[in-house]
Amino acid sequence: MLLLLIVVVMSTSQAASDSPVLLLRVDDAIGPASADYLVRGLAQAQAMNAQLVVIELDTPGGLDISMRTIIKAILASPVPVATFVSPSGARAASAGTYILYASHVAAMAPGTNLGAATPVQIGGAPGAPPAAPSGDKKAPVDAGDTLLHKQINDAAAYIRSLAQLRGRNVEWAEKAVRDAVSLPASEALRLKVIDQVAVDVPDLLRQLDGKRLEAAGQAVLLQTTLAPMVERKPDWRTRLLAVITSPSVALMLITVGVYGLMFEFMNPGTGVGGVVGGICLLLGLYALQLLPVNYAGVGLIMLGLAFMIAEAFLPSFGVIGFGGIAAFVAGAVILMDTDVPGFGIPLPLILGLALFAALLLSGLIGMALKARRRALVSGDAGLVGSVVRVIEVQAEDPCMGWVQAQGEQWQAQCQTPLYAGQRVRVVARNGVLLDVSAAAEQPAQGD
């Protein structure tokens, strides 16, 4: 009986050590792309029967909705998650602190830090500093302060619940939200904010060997010293999502998309403008619905682009077009409804797009003015007075024949006999019959 028990324990230990460890890396702001990457990575870890997922993290923070998506996936994962702030010099600020607290194992490398988890004010004036909670509960607060207090209280309750769930320092977690404090790795370990300090991922796996964790209500015994490690790198979908969900790229995609459709409408049949414009516009709109945008900004951008397109078809001589440029700039400035690092639109980019639109608009106005001053070359105004060539003469009446004018064949009559190849001048038009007279030899305008 004892021998059988030993065999069972040894076989279980061998099976656990054969289970791989999945490594995921995030070294940018937390956004839709990183959320998609981590959520699909956790699903893959479950499919491959991994015993542990290590998230190597270096982030300045990110979007609240993406952070909560990641935390929900971590809390529901049957595979334990160890978030490791690495390498030295990395940080887990703002949203990264929440993810660290939500993980089954929180670890940091020497020379790293975490904290500054105060939520960034959304919908307020850019750059407005968050008001610190006042100790005087009777002090009056305006609507903006009330909204900010609600956001801070919600964030504090959220990180406090994560700290209680994982048995970590609740007081410091709330302080990180309310006072935006930070900690280095050694202090975080001393205050029981994190569980481990490791030099690198292999060192972390050696320290976690034999540790028992609970994930999704199931006990998991880690055998990580000899476990194979599999790194899952971002695939094409994650890389594409990371590119198009950049607010700057999304703005350029929408601009290129609208311009492409405009050129297709102005030159129907080419196809290139319509195809490229349609694809860019759809990608840009898809990116915007993943980002925290100000819909007033979106409306101003679309109105501005519509005005610039209308300028190409309406004789307003720049009034509508330059008004559209002003609306476009105003919309681009207020487009992003957050001050989170990495999710702003640089002012030089906005001004560059506005300058390009102004140059394009000036070119259209210049062509319109040039065309306005040019003499008419179609209809009766362009036909009468032009010099054309006789292509055929009637045998029964040499004063009647056919001429080539404005790309068409016209019947013509003259006071003098005509001959093929002769150049004549159109004197008048009588329905479909042209009155012509002999002209001096000169290049024909109607050929």
- CATH assignment of the domain containing 116: 3.90.226.10
CB neighbourhood size of 131 (10 A):
14
Q: Give the count of domains, the chain.
A: 3
The answer to whether residues 268 and 196 belong to one domain is: no
Average pLDDT over residues 74-86: 96
The answer to whether residues 199 and 249 belong to one domain is: no
Q: Specify the range with the lowest mean pLDDT, choosing from 50-54, 349-353, 420-424, 439-443.
A: 439-443
Residue 130 predicted with pLDDT over 70: no
Average pLDDT over residues 309-321: 75
Instruction: Give residue 372's pLDDT.
Output: 61
Average pLDDT over residues 214-224: 91
The answer to whether residues 215 and 333 belong to one domain is: no
Average pLDDT over residues 211-216: 92
Residue 417 to residue 427: CA distance in whole angstroms: 16
Provide the pLDDT confidence category of residue 164 given band limits of 50, 70 and 90.
very high
pLDDT, tens digit (0-9, with 9 covering 90-100), for 231-260: 999 999 899 989 998 999 999 999 898 888
Provide the pLDDT confidence category of residue 420 given band limits of 50, 70 and 90.
confident
Average pLDDT over residues 69-85: 96
Instruction: Give residue 366's pLDDT.
Output: 72
Provide, rounded to the nearest whole percent, the portion of the chain with pLDDT above 90. Answer: 42
Average pLDDT over residues 369-398: 72
Residue 204 predicted with pLDDT over 70: yes
Give the phi and the psi of residue 197 in degrees, each rounded to 5. Answer: -120, 120
Residue 446 to residue 341: CA distance in whole angstroms: 65
Average pLDDT over residues 329-337: 88
Residue 125 predicted with pLDDT over 70: no
Instruction: Give residue 122's pLDDT.
Output: 42
Residue 354 to residue 327: CA distance in whole angstroms: 10
Residue with tokens 């980019």: 349
The answer to whether residues 25 and 167 belong to one domain is: yes
The answer to whether residues 249 and 224 belong to one domain is: no
Instruction: Give residue 440's pLDDT.
Output: 63
Amino acid residing at 56: E
Q: Which of 352, 373, 394 is the last residue of a domain?
A: 373
Among the listed residues 189, 229, 198, the one whose alpha carbon sits nearest the alpha carbon of residue 25: 229
The answer to whether residues 15 and 108 belong to one domain is: yes
What is the reported pTM?
Answer: 0.72
The answer to whether residues 67 and 200 belong to one domain is: yes
pLDDT, tens digit (0-9, with 9 covering 90-100), for 136-147: 444 444 455 787
Residue 444: inside a domain: no
Q: Which of 235, 253, 280 is the last residue of a domain?
A: 235
Could you list the residue range(s) of the whole structural domain that residue 408 is in? 379-438
